Amino acid sequence: MDDLVAQVAQRAGIDPAMAAAAVTIILKFLANAGPRDKVDKLIDDLPGARAALASGDRGPADVMGAFSALTGAGLGMGEIQSVASAFGSVAREHAGAGVVDEVVASIPGLSQFV
């Protein structure tokens, strides 16, 4: 997961510890809210994503829960948008735009952030 976190941190302009927390929240949210087959493909293609899902609590189940978890981790609105965009960009590079776009389209309200 180190490579994924480093890429998100660099692209979003945040420190790696905050990026690690954000990536874990995002992955858990996607696993809870998205269609299993599409999310599994995405997670399998992102280096270290499975390990991140195995850590800690279950994570948020909807967009508002994810937003709340991200703000609780110390990110402001602008940082959340930057992290979501950076995560989406990295995910597209690893899993392909089609997979990411299908996941985003399947979760109500997510397209506002990615």
Give the pTM.
Answer: 0.94
Per the structure, the complete domain to which residue 73 belongs is given by 2-112
Candidates 22, 37, 35, 17; CA nearest to 88 is 22
The CATH number linked to 58 is 1.10.490.110
Q: Number of structural domains, the chain?
A: 1
From first to last of its 114 residues, what are the pLDDT tens digits of the chain?
Answer: 889 999 999 999 999 999 999 999 999 999 999 999 999 999 999 998 998 888 878 999 999 999 999 999 999 999 999 999 999 999 999 999 999 999 999 998 888 777
